[in-house]
């Protein structure tokens, strides 16, 4: 059997589907496939890695299940795990269903992995059925299954059910709390997240690195600098290796930056005043966070300087870094530098610009008054290779036309934006403001009729403030 396993592993490395099929035929002919279930499982896993077509895999999996007579959950657990890791969550659910239908016992591993597959498929009904089975069969006594259920509901942004599961688990641990906390943060329920963090000591649950990162994220969402400072103090007292955790450092940097405390964010970024016991870790995540703080607080010169420092340290920038840097060039009027950074993405770092990068470049040209160049950029055939222009790009051009009083170009930009999003009331409002500048009341009247016919409304903005007594 070991020879067969080694052969399959070699086929998996070389992606040699023909050799796999030949071995499959041999195993069927001599009956070995029906007797050795471990080999059966390995053969399915090898096909998973080599088959190019998902439909072929489904047909093959069904035929395999028809001739497997094992009642050992280990064989099926390996399949469920393999399907889930290789990007075939539907087949993971099919394997789980086969187990349940054929009386193979379901254990913790099968339940947890299948819940992960369900969350990847966004399959609410299947997850609900597993939840019902867990409740009836008493698996709530397993903290692992409970955590997997909370994580499943959280990833589907069904935080109410996630919270109910958390309350039902008899023996909770920090992993359960973190799963629920992650759900609150993903749903933007910052206050709920803060309440859970405060509740954890009462439940005798300890904070770990993930808990503190998520708590800082909630403070950022609420712009709550006071609680953020308390968490920072707690970190300094209890976490001796904060210099090795870039996610905690990034969360601190972003929290202070959101609250306008740029200098404090700088101190965290540089770890000034701290005793560094281990090797300092500063990857692209941390650099991106600091660049974002500078950009959002109008410190555009610092963005360019920090980017240069980042390159000197050998950190390879990603797409988010270039967005921040090109935007900074737009605010400082450095058109040529912004175009140079844009070209550097593909030429130097082999990154493909996305719609957001083109939108940023359009905004850069518009701020510099290069409206016709922005128009040409949006219409050139090169851009068609990555997809259609977004509403935000035409909106940026329209906004610049309003500021400069370019009526003809504004009409064209507004029409293109409304073609993409006919229900965008903000575009009509900007165009109406331009008409008002020049006393074009007939045009404004026609716009008002259009707005009324389509029932358009402009979204109302909002902001957070923390009031101290």
- Measure the CA–CA gap between 282 and 313, rounded to whole angstroms: 10
**Looking at residue 204, what is its pLDDT?**
93
Q: Name which of 424, 430, 373, 367 is nearest 402 in CA terms.
A: 430
Q: Name which of 42, 37, 56, 34 is nearest 12 in CA terms.
A: 42
- Measure the CA–CA gap between 60 and 49, rounded to whole angstroms: 13
**Looking at residue 456, what is its pLDDT?**
64
Q: Give the CA dihedral 105, 111, 112, 118, nearest 10 degrees.
A: 140
CB 289 within 8 A of CB 254: yes
**Looking at residue 37, what is its pLDDT?**
65
Structure tokens at 244: 């090795």
The band of 102, judged by pLDDT with boundaries at 50, 70 and 90, is confident
Average pLDDT, whole number, for the chain? Answer: 84
- Measure the CA–CA gap between 446 and 439, rounded to whole angstroms: 14
Residue 52 pLDDT exceeds 60: no
Instruction: Report the range out of 72-86, 103-117, 347-361 with the highest average pLDDT.
Output: 103-117
CB 143 within 8 A of CB 173: yes
The band of 306, judged by pLDDT with boundaries at 50, 70 and 90, is very high
CB 443 within 8 A of CB 428: no
133-163 tens-digit pLDDT = 998 888 888 889 999 999 999 999 899 999 9
- 171 secondary structure, DSSP code: S
User: Tokens 């913790």 — which residue?
Assistant: 108
Residue with more model confidence, 437 or 298: 298
CB 300 within 8 A of CB 332: yes
**Looking at residue 154, what is its pLDDT?**
93
**Looking at residue 321, what is its pLDDT?**
95
The band of 400, judged by pLDDT with boundaries at 50, 70 and 90, is confident
Q: What is the mean pLDDT of residues 279-295?
A: 87
363-to-205, 320, 340, 388, 408 alpha-carbon distances in Å: 48, 16, 15, 17, 19
Residue 387 pLDDT exceeds 70: no
Structure tokens at 227: 């609680």
Q: pTM score, two decimals?
A: 0.75
CB 438 within 8 A of CB 426: no
**Looking at residue 208, what is its pLDDT?**
92
424-458 tens-digit pLDDT = 878 888 888 888 888 888 888 887 877 777 766 65
Helix (H) or strand (E) holding 221: helix 209-222
Q: What is the mean pLDDT of residues 287-304?
A: 94
- Measure the CA–CA gap between 279 and 222, rounded to whole angstroms: 32
Residue with more model confidence, 183 or 383: 183
Q: Tell me the residue length of the chain.
A: 469
Q: What is the mean pLDDT of residues 86-104?
A: 85
Q: What is the mean pLDDT of residues 373-393?
A: 67
Structure tokens at 385: 């290779």
CB 166 within 8 A of CB 180: yes
129-to-31, 100, 134, 135, 422 alpha-carbon distances in Å: 37, 12, 9, 10, 41
Q: What is the mean pLDDT of residues 106-125?
A: 92
Inter-axis angle of helices 300-312 and 319-332, nearest 10? 140
Residue 382 pLDDT exceeds 50: no
CB 73 within 8 A of CB 107: yes
- Residue 198 exposed, middle or buried by CB count within 10 Å (0-12, 13-18, 19+): exposed
Structure tokens at 254: 């972003």
**Looking at residue 388, what is its pLDDT?**
55
Residue with more model confidence, 394 or 320: 320
178-227 tens-digit pLDDT = 999 999 999 999 999 999 999 999 999 999 999 999 999 999 999 999 99
């Amino acid at each position: 059997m070991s020879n067969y396993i080694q052969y399959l592993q070699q086929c998996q490395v070389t992606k040699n589907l023909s050799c796999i099929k030949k071995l499959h035929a041999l195993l069927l002919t001599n009956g070995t496939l029906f007797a050795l279930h471990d080999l059966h499982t390995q053969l399915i896993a090898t096909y998973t890695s080599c088959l190019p077509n998902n439909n072929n895999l489904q047909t093959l999996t069904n035929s395999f299940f028809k001739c497997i007579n094992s009642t050992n959950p280990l064989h099926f657990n390996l399949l469920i795990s393999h399907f889930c890791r290789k990007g075939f969550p539907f087949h993971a659910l099919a394997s789980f269903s086969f187990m349940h239908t054929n009386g193979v016992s379901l254990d913790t591993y099968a339940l947890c992995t299948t819940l992960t597959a369900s969350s990847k498929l966004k399959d609410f009904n299947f997850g609900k059925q597993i939840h019902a089975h867990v409740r009836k069969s008493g698996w709530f006594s397993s903290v692992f299954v409970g955590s997997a259920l909370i994580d499943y509901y959280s990833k589907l942004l069904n935080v109410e059910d996630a919270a109910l599961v958390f309350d039902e688990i008899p023996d909770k641990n920090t992993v359960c709390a973190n799963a629920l906390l992650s759900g609150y943060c993903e749903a933007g329920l910052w206050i709920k997240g803060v309440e859970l963090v405060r509740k954890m000591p009462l439940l005798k649950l300890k904070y770990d690195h993930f808990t503190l990162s998520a708590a800082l994220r909630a403070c950022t969402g609420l712009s709550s600098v006071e609680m953020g400072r308390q968490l920072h103090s707690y970190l300094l007292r209890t976490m001796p290796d904060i210099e090795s955790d870039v996610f905690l450092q990034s969360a601190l940097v972003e929290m202070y930056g959101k609250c306008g405390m740029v200098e404090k964010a700088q101190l965290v970024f540089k770890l000034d005043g701290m005793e560094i016991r281990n090797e300092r870790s500063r990857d692209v995540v941390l650099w991106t966070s600091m660049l974002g703080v500078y950009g959002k607080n109008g410190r555009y010169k610092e963005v360019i300087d920090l980017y240069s420092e980042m390159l000197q340290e050998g950190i390879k920038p990603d797409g988010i870094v270039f967005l921040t840097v090109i935007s900074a060039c737009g605010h400082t009027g450095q058109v040529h530098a912004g175009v140079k950074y844009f070209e550097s993405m593909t030429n130097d770092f082999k990154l493909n610009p996305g719609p957001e990068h083109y939108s940023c470049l359009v905004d850069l040209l518009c701020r510099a008054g290069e409206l016709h160049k922005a128009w040409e950029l949006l219409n050139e055939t090169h851009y068609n290779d990555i997809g259609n222009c977004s509403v935000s790009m035409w909106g940026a051009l329209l906004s610049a036309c309003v500021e400069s009083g370019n009526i003809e170009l504004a009409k064209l930009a507004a029409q293109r934006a409304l073609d993409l999003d006919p229900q965008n009331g903000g575009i009509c409002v900007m165009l109406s403001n331009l008409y008002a500048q020049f006393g074009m009341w007939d045009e404004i009247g026609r716009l008002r009729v259009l707005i009324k016919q389509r029932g358009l409304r402009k979204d109302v903005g909002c902001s957070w403030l923390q009031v101290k007594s």
